[in-house]
């Protein structure tokens, strides 16, 4: 659901009340579509979040923590140059537009006071952030040239103009009777007709007005009676009154907690069907609605290139394995080459140089067989050629069996890495995976000066019986956990024949109860590619039964004397057992 002009206006009013006279302390660009301004007032600090992402464009205050790129993007550097230390003097909105202007009083390179404006255009896939000075564009987060739009360009040096406005009445500025009359001229259902007749609000408010007027009754605009028009006018005016009083920030959620809609008015159309959650502010509302979705999208953007690289490596390993399997099948049929060589050696007297083929009796079957010959070789040379090809195939068969075993291990390893990329929780986790791939020779190593980060700790859980359960975050951590941290009597868990984390119950010399074993097995499933499965096989054994040979990839181990449990995990277990 997109942010409409009415909700944006209430949000901007709220931001102006809190942030007026606040100064910009720091500026960050966590992803290519998002800007975070750290601002401070006389009494507190705030983070103003501006997103130009097509599916979740918004401006609001946030408490979210962001991982920023090591090298700031160019637009971020431009904002730092022109806005750092600036004081917010106004927040403006053109009536009915989804554009918020943040005016900052700043000091330029010459020491003069200048007014710089950051425009947040929150218009779906056309969302953008534009820095303006004296009516001219300094730059835009997403530049729009003449090829992108013949109507309106956003390029440095051009004059800033508002986008063309559709010829519609503003819902909040129009009378209820006027809106009802406009709807009555259209042959659409009332909610759709209202949406086509006015601007400034989204579809959810149009549906709400129709619901308050007619309930479940289906009605086209052109079929409305005078009484129906009066009911619709009253419903529209009721919503307008709620807006003028500041509205009620509300989010509609499914029984599972997934957000469906949000609005500045209470949505009676969902009463008794879905849950409605009210918020204290519009910033909290927008964060509550978009936060989880944005977090997933932010991580997807950061992991996209790495996921593509690992996927390509996996596909290449699978193709190589298929080619080797086919070559092995051909090598196993090499006995025919040996027989051809023997037959030619026994019948050298019956052949001459220059023959294309010769037909001889195969003494193994008693049948005649036609053997192709090389015109360039004499009879003895042709016999030797077949013997050499036979030996080559035999040698290849021995090597291919070894290569196929290595290929199976490589494919299994890359599957675990792909799972790690898909479940990575941030830039630090992705950096550890990149380092692992570099150490294995899959990625090129470039000597780049990077910030040294403290390695992430294992996931830590506490069982119902009080036992500490550790879970590795990636292959390198899995090795460290199983081979260095854990001790002989500690219990090790892993999903059978599936990518996933190593899970270890730290026994501390005590007997581990069945309840703890069951919870550890569930954690092994939840931290694996089989997390949505039912009756998933989980192998478990004491750590002393696990070993690792030098030819194994990170995260791969060998174990014997194990038991297998079949587990259906409880989804809430992660939160229940997570150690604070």
Strand partners of residue 169: 198
pTM over 0.75: no
Cα 570 to chain centroid distance, Å, stands at 24
Among 452, 470, 498, give the residue marking a domain's end: 452
Q: Residue 153, Cβ neighbours under 10 Å: how many?
A: 17
Instruction: Give the sign of the dihedral formed by CA 270, CA 276, CA 279, CA 282.
Output: negative
Among 140, 157, 190, give the residue marking a domain's end: 140
Asked if residues 132 and 82 have their Cβ atoms less than 8 Å apart, the reply is no
C-alpha 264/C-alpha 251 separation (Å) is 9
Range of 113's domain?
5-140
Is the same domain home to 388 and 507?
no
Strand partners of residue 536: 567
pLDDT tens digits, residue range 401-415? Answer: 888 888 888 999 999
Is the same domain home to 98 and 241?
no
Largest CA distance in the chain: 113
Q: How confident is the model at residue 480 (pLDDT cuts 50, 70, 90)?
A: very high
Q: How confident is the model at residue 486 (pLDDT cuts 50, 70, 90)?
A: very high
Asked if residues 389 and 337 have their Cβ atoms less than 8 Å apart, the reply is yes
Residue 149 falls inside a structural domain: no
Q: Is 494 exposed, middle or buried (0-12, 13-18, 19+ CB in 10 A)?
A: buried
**Beta-sheet pairing, 128-133 with 113-121:** antiparallel
Residue 375 clears pLDDT 90, i.e. is over it: no
E strand spans, 43-153: 45-51, 58-61, 87-92, 99-107, 113-121, 128-133, 136-140
Q: How confident is the model at residue 430 (pLDDT cuts 50, 70, 90)?
A: confident
Give the tokens for residue 272. Answer: 């008794």
C-alpha 96/C-alpha 145 separation (Å) is 26
Residue 164 falls inside a structural domain: no
Is the same domain home to 119 and 220?
no
Q: Which residues contact 36 (CB under 8 A, 6 or more apart)?
A: 27, 28, 29, 30, 47, 48, 49, 50, 62, 66
**DSSP designation for 209:** H
Instruction: Check which CATH number belongs to the domain holding 92 and give it.
Output: 2.30.310.10
E strand spans, 298-382: 357-361, 368-372
Q: How confident is the model at residue 451 (pLDDT cuts 50, 70, 90)?
A: low
Asked if residues 494 and 545 have their Cβ atoms less than 8 Å apart, the reply is no
Q: How confident is the model at residue 462 (pLDDT cuts 50, 70, 90)?
A: very high
Residue 332 clears pLDDT 80, i.e. is over it: no
Is the same domain home to 382 and 425?
yes
* pLDDT for position 246: 92
| 557 HSE (CA, 13 A, CB side) | 28
Q: Which residues contact 91 (CB under 8 A, 6 or more apart)?
A: 12, 13, 15, 16, 19, 20, 100, 101, 102, 103
* CA-to-CA separations, 470 to 511, 539, 545, in angstroms, rounded: 17, 16, 18
Residue 450 clears pLDDT 60, i.e. is over it: no
* pLDDT for position 483: 94
Residue 295 falls inside a structural domain: no
Is the same domain home to 306 and 373?
yes
User: Among 163-167, 223-227, 447-451, 563-567, which is the least confidently predicted range?
Assistant: 447-451
C-alpha 290/C-alpha 35 separation (Å) is 15
Is the same domain home to 354 and 265?
no
Asked if residues 62 and 121 have their Cβ atoms less than 8 Å apart, the reply is no
Is the same domain home to 415 and 476?
no
Q: How confident is the model at residue 181 (pLDDT cuts 50, 70, 90)?
A: very high
Q: Quote the percentage of the chain above a pLDDT of 70.
A: 97
* pLDDT for position 353: 85
* pLDDT for position 299: 73
Asked if residues 507 and 456 have their Cβ atoms less than 8 Å apart, the reply is no
Is the same domain home to 446 and 464?
no
> Count of residues for the chain?
580
* pLDDT for position 448: 46
Asked if residues 185 and 222 have their Cβ atoms less than 8 Å apart, the reply is yes
* CA-to-CA separations, 85 to 105, 108, 112, 339, in angstroms, rounded: 9, 11, 13, 87
Residue 162 falls inside a structural domain: no
Is the same domain home to 434 and 518?
no
Instruction: Check which CATH number belongs to the domain holding 183 and give it.
Output: 1.10.8
* pLDDT for position 445: 59
Is the same domain home to 253 and 328?
no
C-alpha 177/C-alpha 228 separation (Å) is 11
Instruction: Give the sign of the dihedral formed by CA 234, CA 236, CA 242, CA 246.
Output: negative
Q: How confident is the model at residue 324 (pLDDT cuts 50, 70, 90)?
A: confident
C-alpha 311/C-alpha 566 separation (Å) is 30
Residue 103 falls inside a structural domain: yes
Q: Which residues contact 311 (CB under 8 A, 6 or more apart)?
A: 418
Is the same domain home to 69 and 133?
yes
Counting the structural domains of the chain, the total is 4
Q: What is the 3-class SS of 6-23, one letter each residue?
A: HHHHHHHHHHHHHHCCCE
Instruction: Check which CATH number belongs to the domain holding 341 and give it.
Output: 1.10.287
Among 412, 435, 452, give the residue marking a domain's end: 452
Is the same domain home to 445 and 473?
no
Residue 293 clears pLDDT 50, i.e. is over it: yes
Residue 294 clears pLDDT 50, i.e. is over it: yes
Mean pLDDT of 540-563: 92
Helix axes 226-244, 203-214, angle to 10 degrees: 130
């Amino acid at each position: 659901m997109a942010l409409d002009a009415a909700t944006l206006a209430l949000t901007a009013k709220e931001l102006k009340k809190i942030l007026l006279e606040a100064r910009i302390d720091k500026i960050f660009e966590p992803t290519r579509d998002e800007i975070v301004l750290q601002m401070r007032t006389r009494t507190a600090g705030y983070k103003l979040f501006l997103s130009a992402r097509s599916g979740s464009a918004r401006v609001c205050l946030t408490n979210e923590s962001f991982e920023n790129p090591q090298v700031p993007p160019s637009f971020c550097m431009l904002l730092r140059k022109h806005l750092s230390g600036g004081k917010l003097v106004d927040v403006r909105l053109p009536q009915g537009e989804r554009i918020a202007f943040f005016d900052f009083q700043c000091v330029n390179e010459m020491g003069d006071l200048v007014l710089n404006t950051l425009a947040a255009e929150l218009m779906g896939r056309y969302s953008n952030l534009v820095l303006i000075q004296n009516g001219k564009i300094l730059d835009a987060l997403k530049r729009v040239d003449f090829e992108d739009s013949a109507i309106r360009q956003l390029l440095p040096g051009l004059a800033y103009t508002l986008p063309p406005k559709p010829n519609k009445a503003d819902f909040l500025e129009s009378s209820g009777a006027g809106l009802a009359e406009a709807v009555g001229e259209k042959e659409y259902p009332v909610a759709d007709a209202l949406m086509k007749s006015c601007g400034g609000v989204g579809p959810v408010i149009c549906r709400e007005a129709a619901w308050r007027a007619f309930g479940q009754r289906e009605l086209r605009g052109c079929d409305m009676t005078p009484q129906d028009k009066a009911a619709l006018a009253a419903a529209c005016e009721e919503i307008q009154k709620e807006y003028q009083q500041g509205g009620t920030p509300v989010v509609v959620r499914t029984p599972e907690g997934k957000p469906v809609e949000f609005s500045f008015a209470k949505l009676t159309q969902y009463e008794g069907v879905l849950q409605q959650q009210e918020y204290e502010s519009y910033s909290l509302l927008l964060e509550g609605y978009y936060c989880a979705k944005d977090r997933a999208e932010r991580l997807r953007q950061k992991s996209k290139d790495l996921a593509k690289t690992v996927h390509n490596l996996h596909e290449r390993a699978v193709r190589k394995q298929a080619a080797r399997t086919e070559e092995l099948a051909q090598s196993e049929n090499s006995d025919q080459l040996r027989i051809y060589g023997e037959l030619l050696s026994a019948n050298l007297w019956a052949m001459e140089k220059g023959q294309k083929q010769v037909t001889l009796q195969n003494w193994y079957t008693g049948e005649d067989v036609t053997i192709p010959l090389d015109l360039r070789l004499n009879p003895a040379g042709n016999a030797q050629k077949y013997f050499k090809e036979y030996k080559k195939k035999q040698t290849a068969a021995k090597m291919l069996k070894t290569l196929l075993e290595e290929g199976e291990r490589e494919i299994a390893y890359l599957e675990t890495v792909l799972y790690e990329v898909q479940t990575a929780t941030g830039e630090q986790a992705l950096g550890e995976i990149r380092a692992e791939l570099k150490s294995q020779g899959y990625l090129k190593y470039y000597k780049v000066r990077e910030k040294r980060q403290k390695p992430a700790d294992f996931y830590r859980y506490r069982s119902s019986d009080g036992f500490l359960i550790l879970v590795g975050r990636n292959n390198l951590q899995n090795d460290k956990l199983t081979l260095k941290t854990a001790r002989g009597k500690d219990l090790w868990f892993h999903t059978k024949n599936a990518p996933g984390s190593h899970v270890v119950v730290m026994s501390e010399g005590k007997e581990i109860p069945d309840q703890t074993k069951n919870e550890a097995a569930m954690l092994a499933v939840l931290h694996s590619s089989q997390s949505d499965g039912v009756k998933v096989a989980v192998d478990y054994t004491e750590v002393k039964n696990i070993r690792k040979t030098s030819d194994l990839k990170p995260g791969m181990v060998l174990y014997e004397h194990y038991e297998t449990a079949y587990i259906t995990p409880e989804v809430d277990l992660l939160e229940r057992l997570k150690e604070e």
